[in-house]
Structure 1
Amino acid sequence: METNNKITSEQKEEKTFQYRSYGKGELAMLYLPDIQQQSAVDQFNKWIEAAPGLKERLIATGMNPRSRRYTPAQVRLIIEVLQEP
């Protein structure tokens, strides 16, 4: 029985989302792992556009559409709206 508890504990650790800087493609692929990266980024950007106020909040944190990474603060905002991948 102890082994089962250990496995469950390890699985929980694996599922803990890390709030850190992510490349845009990297984060998009966490949400959409079964498609090509560029398609995932395109779809992810559509979700950000469609989420009321999210894009504005991201821009307020200094997000630049040309940047290739999200800061930990930006990731936190995204997770608040879209939930964990």
Structure 2
Amino acid sequence: MDTFQIRSYGIGELARCYAPNITAGAARRKLMYWISLQPALVDALHASGFSQKVRSFTPAQVRLIVEALGEP
């Protein structure tokens, strides 16, 4: 079994790591919903440059997400 790597991920790509058994769109919506439930995570992501226009997460943003939500 592969271990999860902190690296740059497309939003859909990371979402599929967390929810591999649903469609890519549903996984993306679910991940963004889980993120929205963590106000400190939302603030940290925005401080790191994340916005709705961005289509990928940087390694630093992935680290923030994993620290808040756990490894996929």
Which TM-score bucket, shorter chain as reference? Answer: over 0.9
Pick aligned residue for 1:50 from 16, 26, 37? 37
TM-score, L = length of structure 1: 0.81
Deviation at 1:59, TM superposition (A): 0.4
Q: How many residues align?
A: 72
Across the aligned residues of Structure 1 and Structure 2, the Cα RMSD in angstroms comes to 0.8
Higher RCO (CA 8 Å, separation ≥ 6 residues)? 2
Runs of 4 or more consecutive aligned structure 1 residues displaced over 3 Å after TM superposition: none
Instruction: Flag the structure with higher helix content.
Output: 1
Pick aligned residue for 1:25 from 12, 34, 42? 12
Deviation at 1:52, TM superposition (A): 3.2
* Structure 1 unpaired stretches of 5+: 1-10
Larger Rg: 1
1:75 aligns with 2:51: no
Aligned residues with identical type, % of pairs: 49
